Structure 1
């Protein structure tokens, strides 16, 4: 087991460093390019910031545990770790829904887009995403950490995840399991339904576009967001919609995937096929050649 941990350490360290570099790089790149100062890229910068916080709530502690023989964490530290993880996770759900709405307005009402998606409204949506994540996390973390725990308090996981914590309780965990399920259903799944509804309207708007080129362009503006939504929700909902399966290997793999791998992949998903970012990169390269 110790040998496996020494192998996993450089792997997860590399993933964490790439997450930090790519997301921070994307935030800075959007900030210094005035052409990218639009609602879409404001949301994307906020998503990168949330992804940095999301990954940082788990990775540093997990990496230090790989190198330690005695892996212990205090009750408050465990509660805090999960609270921040749940906060960032739910905020990301809400922000992805806001980004879907942004794409719907851009495709469905292009002439009114600048009037609807004003900076003030965008910042309110971002603040709302953070606030909803905070409240949702508070609602289901507080009662679960008020259960009775009488040992052995051993978490068979890489980090403090709520299904494993609940399973250690001496008291009846049914109410807490239902709170976790309902939080995942009404918040996570609720935002997911909103995204699906937005894409239903987007699809209807795309079908009304007469030219094939126009339709393809409209679809391409949504492709990256759709890929990110599928990747995130596909793993997150499969974990939290089955609160009783906390000790299965499938659960552990999935629960480590969306807070660690997804934040690393998001900047790539949004950048590789994005024409605006590619053109901005070309302009930066030209400026460098001019200065040289």
Structure 2
């Protein structure tokens, strides 16, 4: 009888770990698709490295046998440079760009290594951008969380100046008229509080939204205000409902108003922490609106 109990327990454990592994693999695939979609909004064309577990990211292992912390002048450093250059070449091909000079290739490679190294020291997500004579280059790390842990995906991306103009709103067109991804944007009345002295008094948190299925909405939250003051924002941290994972997210610093786009089915009280270039901060609240 005892042997039977042990056998049942062993089978149950195998089933549990088998289902857990399948669930984890499915989550990895889903997160990677989400990561690629997040990066490739706004005209970017990206190349993604393989997913890293939290342990691998902490050790800086961006690929088997390749560490972001490789010593200068070593074979490991050469392999690291090859890894970065391969990603950059993939992104260039995706963007249809063949205008990279040898100096630009070296510059983007060093920028990629430096950016990813600093992010994986956390490890944390984030990105940095670099201007390249009519091209915009971005390197970063995406993070996804789940009940089995965290995944980190290093990536690089390119965007032409023409694509950037298509996605970026001009100063004369207020953000609330439409985020670029909205197929049927909802107009909102332009409104700025007191803009006389303190830029933080001139801002408000607001959103646009569009219905994408029965009860699913794609919404974009952003900071609204006069363009000269919006340019002084260095970062916006959004605090979403606890059902979002992660619930704390950074706005897109490459766009005026630092927008954030997400998909959900219910409204909630959104909070945004705004930091200016002089370090001053203020929090704003706004209840999402889908109508």
Normalising TM by the smaller chain, what interval? under 0.3
Q: Higher relative contact order at CA 8 Å, sep ≥6: structure 1 or structure 2?
A: 1
Higher-Rg structure is 2
TM-score scaled by length of structure 1: 0.28
